[in-house]
Amino acid sequence: MDGIKDKVAIVGMGCTRFGERWDKGVEDLIVEAAYEAFEDAGIEPKDIQAAWIGTVFSGLSAITLSPLQLQYIPITRVENMCATGSEALRAASYAVAAGVCDVALAVGVEKLKDSGATGVKGPSIVGDNQDGSSGIGPSYSAPASFAYLATRYFHDYNIKPEEGKRLLAQITVKNHHNGSLNPKAHFQNELTIEQVVNAPIIAWPLGLFDCCGVSDGASVAVVTRADMAKNFRDDPIYIKSMQVNVGARQGAMLQDYDFVHIEENVLGSRKAYEEAGIKDPRKELSCAEVHDCFSIHEMIVYEDLGFSPRGRAREDIEAGIFTLEGELPVNTDGGLKCFGHPLGASGLRMMYEVYKQLQGKAGPRQVKNPRLGLTHNLGGNAGTGICSCLIVGNEK
């Protein structure tokens, strides 16, 4: 088993502006992101030999991709909750690595705002019945399921809720600062700590600004064989690892799970580092796009992914380690916090940022001397998650 490292490269990417795109349909978002990617890769749509479309709610089957008119080629829809976009990229990359095609397309799209609801609709908000069960079970919102982490983290580390809320607010303020520098972000405004801690409560202890936005968006990648990558461009981005780690409700059913870490994050990232040959992620990674669906989760991710020692994320947050100027900038584009979370699009949107950073094209958000970057998603929630961890680099 020799893994995916350096077998596949990303040679083109596109990403729509994320936001409340009332006047754009799924078809518009797909076309907007895909044609940016085609242009970036210097290819025509007819050059695509196979495609994967990731969406959770915005279309069934491969036919969702029909607006691109990629006629008579193999296309598959993939879905893996919040990791859906990353799954589309993983499928396309694996196909290229397997040698069954040379140029493949990964598309992620979601139009959440068409639901007419505020917040991510999904199994956990209105009874957990999208898994073949009757649907009688408990109702709890997605923010609530992440509030369990905050409640327990504050409890175990003896942090008063008011203190804890200020700590988490620093993550939100950082992400909003980064988002303010990004014309594609849904929210491009700065926030203050006071604004964050005084916002209305959504699921105690999490307030409005601890929760990511809800948006429409699409993002697209063109992948090819690493040995062909330079035919497309001088600065391809090479895939170093692609890991997915999935729980089976262990944390929701067994008492030994602590609700201050997420096992899927720990195991998924460890395997990703192994595949990529990374020993010290905090030192070796140049930037990371992690799943900040809720501020508490970004904090826990620092520890789960080995950026901070267990129980020490607080010190690193307070020392500014994860800001644009810090030792390991995290969510340089503004994260889910500023982009919102159109589920199918998010993983590829994260990759779009890392791709631009590694090419030195991230404008005012550019990190210094980029070499390796990571994207991370967590679908589901604490108790049972779907973690994806992808690592890419600008050298083979």
Q: Which of 252, 326, 327, 366 binds another protein (CB under 8 A)?
A: 252
Task: Return the closest-CA partner of residue 76 out of 51, 59, 97.
Answer: 51
Q: Which of 125, 246, 266, 267 binds another protein (CB under 8 A)?
A: 125
Q: Which of 68, 149, 239, 374 binds another protein (CB under 8 A)?
A: 149
Q: Which of 63, 100, 117, 319 binds another protein (CB under 8 A)?
A: 117
Q: Are 347 and 87 in contact (CB under 8 A)?
A: yes
Annotated active-site residue 211? The verdict is no
> How many residues would you count in the chain?
396
CA 57 to chain centre: 17
DSSP letter, residue 17? P
Q: Is 79 in the site for another protein (CB under 8 A)?
A: no
Report the nearest approach of another protein to the CB of residue 86 (Å): 25
Annotated catalytic residue, options 176, 291, 297, 341: 341
Report the nearest approach of another protein to the CB of residue 344 (Å): 18
Report the nearest approach of another protein to the CB of residue 268 (Å): 19
Parallel, antiparallel or unpaired: strands 237-246 and 287-289: unpaired
Q: Are 308 and 266 in contact (CB under 8 A)?
A: no
Sole window of 62-70, 86-94, 100-108, 134-142 interacting with another protein (rule: CB under 8 A): 134-142
End-to-end, the C-alpha distance of the chain in Å comes to 19
Q: Is 136 in the site for another protein (CB under 8 A)?
A: yes
Sole window of 142-150, 167-175, 277-285, 304-312 interacting with another protein (rule: CB under 8 A): 142-150
Q: Which of 281, 383, 385, 393 binds another protein (CB under 8 A)?
A: 383
Annotated catalytic residue, options 82, 211, 287, 293: 82
Task: Using the minimum distance from each CB to another protein, give the nearer residue, 189 or 250.
Answer: 250
Q: Is 131 in the site for another protein (CB under 8 A)?
A: yes
The stretches of 17-160 forming alpha helices (DSSP H) are 26-41, 84-97, 142-156
Report the nearest approach of another protein to the CB of residue 212 (Å): 14
CA 185 to CA 269: how far, in whole Å?
26
Q: Which of 42, 61, 100, 118 binds another protein (CB under 8 A)?
A: 118
Q: 194: buried, middle or exposed (CB in 10 Å: 19+, 13-18, 0-12)?
A: exposed
Tokens of 160: 């008063």
CA 53 to CA 64: how far, in whole Å?
8
Binding mask 153-172 for another protein (x = CB under 8 A): --x-----------------
Report the nearest approach of another protein to the CB of residue 202 (Å): 5
Task: Using the minimum distance from each CB to another protein, give the nearer residue, 137 or 363.
Answer: 137
Backbone angles phi, psi at 95, to 5 degrees: -65, -40
Task: Return the closest-CA partner of residue 289 out of 211, 371, 391, 205.
Answer: 391
Any bridge partners for residue 220, and if so which?
14, 107
Task: Return the closest-CA partner of residue 374 out of 305, 319, 317.
Answer: 305
What 3-state DSSP class applies to 94?
Answer: helix
Q: Which of 22, 23, 44, 132 binds another protein (CB under 8 A)?
A: 132
Q: Which of 62, 126, 193, 228 binds another protein (CB under 8 A)?
A: 126
Sole window of 2-10, 79-87, 91-99, 245-253 interacting with another protein (rule: CB under 8 A): 245-253
Cis peptide before 67 (omega within 30 of 0): no
Report the nearest approach of another protein to the CB of residue 92 (Å): 31
Sole window of 43-51, 158-166, 200-208, 215-223 interacting with another protein (rule: CB under 8 A): 200-208
Report the nearest approach of another protein to the CB of residue 251 (Å): 8
| Structural element, H or E, at residue 207 | strand 206-207
Annotated active-site residue 291? The verdict is no
Q: Is 201 in the site for another protein (CB under 8 A)?
A: yes
Q: Are 275 and 7 in contact (CB under 8 A)?
A: no
Tokens of 185: 């972000």
Distances (CA, A) of 77 to 110, 266, 379: 13, 28, 17
Binding site for another protein (CB under 8 A): 115-119, 121, 125-141, 143-145, 147-149, 151-152, 155, 200-204, 206, 248-250, 252-255, 257, 259, 383
- What are the catalytic residues? 82, 341
